[in-house]
């Protein structure tokens, strides 16, 4: 089993290529729906690209001129990428027209931090008829303090700051490995970016960025999902390309529950030790905490462990919707509005069911279900693999948005799974 390049790094790096009129070459691009959407979004403003035919694969990106500063309204609602074009379009055209964002329904997911940061850098931004209209003569460096270490807002501010006049401080920035990978590409392109202590990123604006070549990091969400698939089925799988440094918290949680893993030069081997696993408390958080995108497969794993486990979701206020189907399949999961944990949480005292208690182990029955979002989708596939009987799962396009050859990879692990024509 081999993990692909990270969706949440590769899509942003395609956008980064718009910051220069020279070619940018990216390797390890996953073959997924979100890459196709992102390429279309960038193509609509002037990107040209070629894709090497070999899977594994390389993209050659080039935007000699920005043809139009307007991302068509048709891209509204498809993913989270269009707003990230604001900085590159302002730098290269002085104007940007961006449709509202889409993405999975896992919370309100506003973009107020993005807009405030760009305004602080000197952009004038209006919102009307479902679009953001932004203008700027030249962006200027500023001190920006994000109210929360948002991944997207940090990435957006980086794109705007690298070519701004003067120095920008992004305080309370996200430091997820996918963000650092973006910083590495930008540095290769000629940017000056310091990672300070205490979540501060310092960007010294430069006049121009050049072309570069970069290999996108591997997908630590996909790696964790295969780890759970292996452990929950009593299996033993080497996940090639899984990187220990980016999965420390995940591995600590596996160790606490008694699941087996072995870090190897080519990846990480995950296995069930043969003795019962222990229930645990897990709280999601920004990096280096336990990723919110590891939550869904982990809850799935909790359903198969004897005793009471707890998951406290502190990143998104509405990320347990998928548990309803698991309950229908026989899982015992109860949602709570209270914070069942110790981490500071923005949802404390508010009306969001963002904690859950899982009582395991419960055998699961097959069911007909519809995938509500990308990460939940993978968990449904795992659930169906361990359930007694045949499940029919609709909405498979959601998982194809984010995982390369998902069914083929499940089949390579001997899962009895096929696409109904
Ligand atoms: N937030 C705001 N205002 C903003 C921006 C964010 O209130 O302007 C809030 C969000 O509502 C959320 C929290 O801040 O409660 C964190 O959001 P963040 O901006 O970090 O998320 P994102 O950039 O939209 C990315 C990934 C998500 C991943 C999160 C957290 C992409 C395309 N998406 O989203 O991945 O869960 O960071 O790590 O990179 C996925 O891949 O399935 C996925 C949802």
pLDDT of the chain along its 421 residues, tens only?
A: 899 999 999 999 999 999 999 999 999 999 999 999 999 999 999 999 999 876 658 999 999 999 999 999 989 877 889 999 999 999 999 999 999 876 667 677 789 999 999 999 999 999 998 899 999 999 999 999 999 999 999 999 999 999 999 999 999 999 999 999 999 999 999 999 999 989 999 999 999 999 999 999 999 999 999 999 999 999 999 999 999 999 999 999 999 999 999 999 999 999 999 999 999 999 999 999 999 999 999 999 999 999 999 999 999 999 999 999 999 999 999 999 999 999 999 999 999 999 999 999 999 999 999 998 899 999 999 999 999 999 999 999 889 999 999 999 999 988 888 888 7
User: Using CA atoms, how far apart are residues 99 and 86, in angstroms rounded to an integer?
Assistant: 11
Choose among 275, 319, 316, 314: nearest CA to 297: 319
- Greatest Cα-to-Cα distance within the chain, rounded to the nearest angstrom: 64
| 293 CA: nearest ligand 1 atom | 36
User: Using CA atoms, how far apart are residues 290 and 169, in angstroms rounded to an integer?
Assistant: 26
Here the tokens at position 284 are: 């999601």
Establish whether the linkage from the previous residue to 361 is cis, with ω within 30° of 0. yes
- Residue 152 Rama label (left phi>0; alpha psi -120 to 50; beta): alpha
Non-local CB neighbours of 236 within 8 Å, separated by 6+ positions? 230, 269, 270, 271, 272
| 113 CA: nearest ligand 1 atom | 8
**Which residue has the CA at smallest separation from atom 18 of ligand 1?**
150
Non-local CB neighbours of 320 within 8 Å, separated by 6+ positions? 299, 313, 333, 335, 353, 354, 356
Here the tokens at position 85 are: 């074009």
DSSP, residue by residue, 107-154: S----HHHHHHHHHTT-EEEEETTEEEEE-SS-B--EEE-SS--HHHH
Please indicate whether residue 151, judged by its CB atom, sits closer than 6 Å to ligand 1: yes
Å from CA of 235 to ligand 1 middle:
32
CB burial class (10 A; 0-12, 13-18, 19+) of residue 318?
Answer: middle
pLDDT of residue 81: 93
User: Using CA atoms, how far apart are residues 377 and 417, in angstroms rounded to an integer?
Assistant: 14
Here the tokens at position 199 are: 């979540």
Å from CA of 152 to ligand 1 middle:
6
Number of Cβ atoms within 10 Å of the Cβ of 419? 6
User: Using CA atoms, how far apart are residues 140 and 28, in angstroms rounded to an integer?
Assistant: 34
Å from CA of 365 to ligand 1 middle:
33
First to last CA, the chain: 26
Ligand 1 pocket mutation, candidates 112, 151, 247, 373, criterion most atoms within 8 A of CB:
151
Å from CA of 179 to ligand 1 middle:
12
**Which residue has the CA at smallest separation from atom 25 of ligand 1?**
151
Please indicate whether residue 222, judged by its CB atom, sits closer than 6 Å to ligand 1: no
Please indicate whether residue 9, judged by its CB atom, sits closer than 6 Å to ligand 1: no
The strand pairing partners of 195, in sequence order, are 201
Please indicate whether residue 12, judged by its CB atom, sits closer than 6 Å to ligand 1: no
Å from CA of 80 to ligand 1 middle:
9
pLDDT of residue 106: 67
| 8 CA: nearest ligand 1 atom | 39
C-alpha dihedral sign at 94, 100, 105, 107: positive
Here the tokens at position 215 are: 């290999």
| 176 CA: nearest ligand 1 atom | 38
> Where is 265: in which H helix or E strand?
none
The strand pairing partners of 393, in sequence order, are 369
pLDDT of residue 54: 65
Q: Strands across the sheet with 95-99, in order?
A: 95-99, 131-135, 124-128
Please indicate whether residue 148, judged by its CB atom, sits closer than 6 Å to ligand 1: yes
Which residues are the active-site residues? 104
Phi and psi at 352, nearest 5°, equal -115, 120
Please indicate whether residue 293, judged by its CB atom, sits closer than 6 Å to ligand 1: yes
| 103 CA: nearest ligand 1 atom | 44
pTM > 0.85: yes or no: yes
Please indicate whether residue 149, judged by its CB atom, sits closer than 6 Å to ligand 1: no
Å from CA of 106 to ligand 1 middle:
10
pLDDT of residue 78: 79
């Amino acid at each position: 089993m081999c993990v692909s390049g990270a969706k949440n790094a590769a899509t942003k790096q395609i956008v980064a290529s718009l910051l220069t009129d020279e070619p940018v070459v990216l390797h390890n691009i996953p073959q997924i729906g979100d890459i196709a959407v992102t390429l279309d979004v960038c193509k609509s403003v002037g990107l040209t690209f070629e894709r090497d035919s070999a899977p594994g694969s390389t993209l050659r990106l080039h935007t000699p001129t920005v043809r139009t500063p307007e991302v068509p309204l048709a891209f509204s609602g498809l993913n989270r990428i269009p707003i990230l074009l604001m900085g590159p379009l302002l730098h290269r055209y002085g104007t940007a027209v961006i449709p509202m964002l889409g993405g999975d329904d896992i919370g309100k997911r506003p973009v107020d931090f993005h807009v405030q940061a760009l305004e602080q850098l000197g952009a004038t931004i209006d919102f009307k008829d479902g679009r953001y209209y932004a203008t700027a003569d030249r962006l200027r460096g500023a001190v920006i303090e994000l109210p929360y270490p948002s991944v997207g807002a940090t990435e957006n501010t980086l794109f705007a700051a690298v070519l701004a006049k003067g120095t920008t401080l992004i305080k309370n920035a996200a430091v997820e490995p996918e963000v650092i990978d973006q910083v590495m590409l930008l540095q290769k392109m000629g940017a000056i970016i310091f990672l300070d202590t205490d979540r501060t990123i310092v960007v010294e604006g430069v006049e121009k960025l050049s072309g570069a070549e970069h290999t996108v990091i591997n997908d630590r969400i996909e790696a964790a999902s295969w780890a759970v698939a292996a452990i929950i089925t009593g299996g033993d799988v080497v996940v090639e390309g899984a990187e220990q440094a980016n999965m420390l918290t995940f591995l600590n949680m596996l160790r606490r529950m008694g699941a087996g893993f072995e870090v190897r030069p080519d990846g990480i081997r995950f296995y069930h030790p043969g003795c019962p696993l222990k229930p645990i408390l897990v709280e999601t958080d920004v990096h280096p905490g336990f990723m919110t995108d590891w939550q869904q497969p982990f809850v799935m794993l909790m359903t198969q462990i004897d005793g009471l486990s707890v998951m406290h979701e502190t990143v998104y206020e509405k990320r347990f919707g998928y548990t309803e189907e698991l309950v229908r399949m026989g899982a015992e999961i109860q949602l709570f509005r209270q914070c069942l944990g110790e981490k500071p949480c923005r949802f404390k005292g508010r009306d969001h069911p963002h904690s859950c208690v899982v009582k395991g182990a419960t055998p699961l029955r097959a069911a007909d279900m519809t995938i509500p979002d990308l990460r939940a989708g993978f968990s449904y596939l795992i659930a169906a693999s361990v359930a007694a009987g045949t499940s029919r799962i609709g909405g498979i396009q959601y998982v194809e948005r984010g995982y390369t050859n998902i069914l083929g990879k499940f089949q390579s692990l001997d899962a009895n799974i096929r696409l109904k024509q």
